[in-house]
A and B are shown apart, each in its own frame.
Chain A
C-alpha cells in the first residue's frame, strides 16, 4: 500500500500523453529523469501564447509585444519566488542547464590562472564535466575529482582534504541523474566558502523533487532545466549571485544584451539582459512559469513523500528478481533506480521492456565516469514522477523479470 494525499488518478488526467499506447500496451513512462511529461495546463499556456500574443519582447511598443513581455517577466518572477531568489535579475533565462554551466565556465576564463584548482564531484554528468575541462585547458587550472563510495555517496572527508586556498570553484550536482543520490550541498557550499571558493550546483535533477531555497543555501550559481519539471524543452535558468553576475563578462553578443553599440565600443545591458543575447525562448519561459504553477498547486512536500514511497516499493520489488543489482544506494535518494541484471546487457532489457510499453533509460546516462567507476557499460534506469503508480511499478518488475527469462 502506498499512502499519499495526492489524487493520482486526477493528476494523471492532466497528462494527455499518459493515455497513449506504445507497442499496443498502455504507456508506462519511467524515464522522468531524462525528461518529465507535460500537463495540459502547460500545453495550454504554450497554445495560448501562440494563439493570442506571439510577439517579440522588450523592444516592441505594440500591444502584443507588451503582453508577451509582461508574461515573460512574470515567469521570471515566478521562478524567483519558487527558488527564493533575492532579485528577479539574478534569474538568467537560458536554454537549459548545459547552457547555464557553459555560461559560467566561459565567464570564469578571466578569473582563473595556472595552478588554480577546480573541484568536481565524481558523480557528474558530462555537461558538468566537459565545460570545466575546457576552462582548465584555456586557463591552466587543474581539475580535481571529489571521490565517491560504492554506495554512490560523496566521500566528504576526501572533499575537505581537497579544499585549499588554491580551490577557486567547486561543481556538484544537487541530485545525481544516474544514481539518484541527493548530495549534501549545504555542507559542500559552506566548506567551499571557508576557503574562498565559489560553488555551482547543477540542480537539473533536483528541481522536480526538491524545492531548493537558494538564499538559504547561499549557493553562488544554481542551474535548472524546465523540461525535467513538467515544463517545455529548450529553456532553463542560471541563478547567480548579483555580485558574480556583475563581474562575469557576457557569454554571447547581440540583441537584448547591449546598452549601446557603436563601431568603436559597445556597452552592455544591465542584469539579467546582459546574459540574454538574441530573441529568447519566449514561449518556453512563459510555459516554464506555468509548469511551476502546476507543480506548486500539487505541492512539493506531497510530491516528495509520494515519490519516496514509490522508490521504496520499486526498490523492494526489483530486488526480488534474481541477479538484479542496484547502483546507487545512498541513504538520501530521489526516485531513481539504476540497475543491471548479472549477465545481461542493459540495452537488451531496455529493448524488451519497451516492447511491453515501458519506457526506461538504458546506457551511461551521459555520465561515463560513473559507469567506469562501477566497471559497467551502463545501467537500466527507471525514474519515477508523481504521476506514476504502484501498478506501473508492478508492470516494470514483471517486464524486467520477463526480459531476464528471455535473455538468460
Chain B
C-alpha cells in the first residue's frame, strides 16, 4: 500500500467513531499494538526532542525501504507515533519525504491535542522525514 492509501485507511477507521473518547480509546489501542523498538535503540540519540513524554524512534533500511520502530513512555503519545509509523514505515525514503500529513488534520488529531502534545506531533513528523532525507542520501 502507498502512504496515501494507508492514510486514507486511518481516516476511515477514525471516522467510525462518534466522540473523542472513542477516538482516544482507539489511539490507545494503536499505541498498544505498536511494533516496539528494540531495547538497544532506546537511547538518548533516538529520543525525539520537543516531546513532553519520551519518544524513541529508530529507522533502518530494508532493501530500498525504510522501516521505523518506536516507543514512548506515555500510551497516548505511543498511539500518535503509531499512526505516523503505520503510514511511513516500509516505504521508500523519497515517498516519505514527498508525503503530506494532511491526514493528521483530517482525523482531527492535532486540534484535540494539548499545545505541548501538538508540538510533539510536529517534532515526530519532522524527525521521521529527517530520517528519510538521511537514508535517501545514503541510497544515492
B114 and A345 within 8 A (CB): no
Identify which of residues 37-75 in chain B touch chain A, using a CB-to-CB cut-off of 8 Å: 52-54, 73-75
Q: Report B-chain residues with C-beta under 8 Å of the C-beta of A348.
A: 74-77
Asked if B103 lies at the interface with its beta carbon under 8 angstroms from chain A, I say no
Q: Does B134 contact A (CB under 8 A)?
A: no
Q: In the bound complex, do residue B20 and residue A344 qualify as a contact, i.e. CB atoms below 8 Å apart?
A: no
Complex CA distance for A354 and B114, rounded to whole angstroms: 9
Which residue from chain A places its CB closest to the CB of B120 in the assembled complex? Answer: A347
* A377 to B72 alpha-carbon distance, docked (Å): 12
Q: A352 interface residue, CB < 8 Å from B?
A: yes
Q: Which of A345, A355, A363 contacts B73 (CB 8 A)?
A: A345
CB distance from B115 to the nearest CB of A (A): 12
The residue that A347 contacts in the complex, of B20, B21, B74, with Cβ under 8 A, is B74
Proximity string of chain A (4-23) to chain B, C-beta cutoff 8 Å, 1 when within and 0 when not: 00000000000000000001
**Contact across chains for A351 and B114 when beta carbons are under 8 A apart:** yes
A347 to B28, CA, bound (A): 13
Contact indicator A344/B75 (Cβ below 8 Å): yes
| Chain B residues whose C-beta falls within 8 Å of the C-beta of A344 in the assembled complex | 75
Chain A positions within 8 Å of B28 at CB level? 406-407
Are the C-beta atoms of B24 and A406 separated by less than 8 Å? yes
- In the docked arrangement, what's the CA distance between A352 and B21, Å? 8
A347 touches B52 (CB 8 A): yes
Residue-by-residue, is B1-32 near A (CB-CB < 8 Å gives 1, otherwise 0)? 00000000000000000001100110010000
Give residues of chain B (76-94) contacting chain A, Cβ–Cβ below 8 Å: 76-77
The CA-CA distance from A345 to B73 in the complex, in Å, is 7
A347 adjacent to B53 (CB under 8 Å): yes
Closest to B53 in A: A347
A-side interface mostly = helix
Contact of A355 among B21, B53, B54, B74 (CB under 8 A): B21
Contact B20 A407 (CB under 8 A): no
Q: How large is the interface on A (under 10, 10 to 19, 20 to 34, 35 or more residues)?
A: 10 to 19
Contact in complex: B20, A377 (CB < 8 Å): no
Which of chain A's residues has its CB closest to B51's CB?
A: A347
Residues of chain A contacted by B54 (CB below 8 angstroms)? 377
In Å, the complex CA distance between A352 and B22 comes to 11
Please determine whether A406 and B52 come into contact, CB atoms closer than 8 angstroms.
no
Contact B76 A351 (CB under 8 A): yes
- Determine if A345 and B21 form an interchain contact, defined as CB atoms under 8 angstroms apart: no
Encoded as 1 (CB less than 8 Å from any B CB) or 0, chain A from 333 to 353 comes to 000000000001101100110
Q: Tell me which residues across on chain A come within 8 A of B52, comparing CB atoms.
A: 347, 363
Min CB–CB distance A405 → chain B (angstroms):
10
8 A-B pairs with least C-beta separation: A345-B74, A347-B74, A348-B76, A347-B53, A348-B74, A348-B75, A345-B73, A351-B76
B-side residues, CB < 8 A to A, are: 20-21, 24-25, 28, 52-54, 73-77, 114, 117
A to B CB contacts below 8 Å, 10 in the list: A345-B53, A345-B73, A345-B77, A348-B74, A348-B75, A348-B77, A351-B114, A351-B117, A352-B24, A352-B76
Known: A347-B53, A348-B76, A352-B76. 9 other contacts (CB 8 A): A23-B20, A344-B75, A345-B77, A348-B75, A363-B52, A406-B21, A406-B24, A406-B28, A407-B75
